[in-house]
């Protein structure tokens, strides 16, 4: 349970509180300049391979769930090699937000890097063009990634760098409730999302969309996204392991 509903600044101590789900979110303001944001947006829209794991999101990059869980680990890890080559072109035309985030974490004494398994690196860092409403859901690899090393994580975070609010920004709605297996009675059949009863009686916190800022949340918490039109963000998940390692993946 959160100790309060305040979005904190970025620090090692606040990261520990977020991992423990004692605070709702962390904000890193002014993560990138306007020129960097513009260049990253243009490069993502020009170079990326597009996909849809859910109808309201056009993914600019690949997804461990869509290309791995729903297919195979081997398919995903092979595709990750190709996708990183495309990503190098994108970052060369703009900047490398992954490296910048890793440096910020490392400066706080946190071991953050890109996830690797079986000697092969995962893909990390997708653009997401969002149109429509995203229903209540969680993002938590131990829930759906049995047989993957990220499935043994003790916690999972998500981060987003907002590039363009679009004509409707679509605020994040975040509930002070972590997923547990008994919540799956509320999961809609053959879908990733949940009925509203799963968070009945809990008021959501509205997390704003601020262009140029990074927001981090504990993605095991139930969350949803308000109606959006052409909102563009860049980010990934962060698996947190019992030995303190944090690893990026998409």
pLDDT along the chain (250 residues), means of 10: 98 98 98 98 91 79 83 91 96 98 98 95 96 96 94 98 96 98 95 96 98 98 96 98 97
> CA-CA distances (angstroms) from residue 181 to 96, 113, 132?
37, 29, 28
Task: Please tell me the distance from the alpha carbon of residue 81 to that of residue 56, in angstroms, as a whole number.
Answer: 26
Give Cα separations from 23 to 15, 16, 60, 125, 153 (angstroms). 9, 9, 30, 24, 19
**35 contact partners, CB below 8 Å, separation of at least 6:** none
Dihedral of CA atoms 230, 215, 203, 12 in degrees, nearest 10, equals 170
CATH number at residue 227: 2.60.120.620
Q: What per-residue confidence (pLDDT) applies to 236? A: 98
The C-alpha atoms of residue 12 and residue 108 are separated, in whole angstroms, by 5
Number of structural domains the chain divides into: 1
Q: What is the pLDDT of residue 172?
A: 98
Using CA atoms, how far apart are residues 155 and 247, in angstroms rounded to an integer? 11
Per-residue pLDDT at 53: 61
Residues 135, 137, 139, 145, CA torsion sign = negative
Specify if 181 maps to a domain.
yes
Other beta carbons less than 10 A from residue 73's beta carbon:
18
| Per-residue pLDDT at 147 | 93
> Is 88 domain-assigned?
yes
Task: Confirm whether 121 is domain-assigned.
Answer: yes
Compute the 3-state secondary structure of the chain and give helix, strand, coil in percent, each to the nearest 5.
Answer: 30, 35, 35
Domain that holds residue 82: 8-249
For CA atoms 191, 159, 72, 145, the dihedral sign is: negative
CA 1 from chain centre, in angstroms, equals 21
Q: Does residue 79 sit within a domain?
A: yes
In a domain, 3, yes or no: no
Which pLDDT score, from 0 to 100, does residue 123 have? Answer: 97
In a domain, 150, yes or no: yes
Residues 129, 57: Cα–Cα separation, whole Å = 6
- Does residue 138 fall inside a structural domain? yes
Q: Sign (positive/negative) of CA torsion 97, 99, 101, 104?
A: negative
């Amino acid at each position: 349970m959160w100790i309060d509903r305040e979005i904190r600044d970025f620090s090692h101590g606040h990261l520990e509180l977020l991992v423990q789900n004692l605070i709702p979110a962390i904000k890193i303001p002014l993560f990138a300049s306007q020129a960097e944001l513009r260049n990253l947006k243009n490069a993502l829209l020009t170079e990326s391979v597009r996909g849809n794991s859910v109808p309201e999101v056009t993914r600019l990059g690949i997804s461990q769930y869509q290309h791995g869980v729903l297919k195979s680990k081997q398919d995903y890890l092979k595709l990750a090699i190709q996708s990183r080559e495309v990503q190098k072109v994108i970052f060369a035309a703009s900047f490398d937000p992954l490296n910048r985030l890793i440096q910020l974490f490392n400066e706080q004494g946190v071991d953050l890097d890109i996830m690797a398994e079986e000697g092969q690196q995962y893909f990390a860092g997708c653009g997401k063009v969002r149109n429509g409403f995203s229903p209540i859901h969680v993002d938590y690899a131990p829930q759906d990634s049995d047989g993957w090393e990220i499935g043994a994580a003790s916690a999972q975070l998500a981060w987003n760098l907002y590039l363009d609010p679009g004509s409707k920004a679509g605020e994040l709605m975040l509930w002070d409730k972590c997923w547990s297996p008994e919540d799956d009675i509320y999961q809609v059949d053959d879908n990733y999302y949940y009925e509203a009863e799963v968070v009945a009686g809990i008021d959501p916190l509205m997390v704003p969309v601020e262009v140029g800022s990074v927001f981090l949340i504990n993605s095991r918490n139930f969350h949803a996204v308000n109606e959006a039109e052409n909102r563009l963000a860049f980010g990934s998940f962060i698996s947190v392991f019992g030995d303190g390692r944090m690893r990026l993946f998409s």
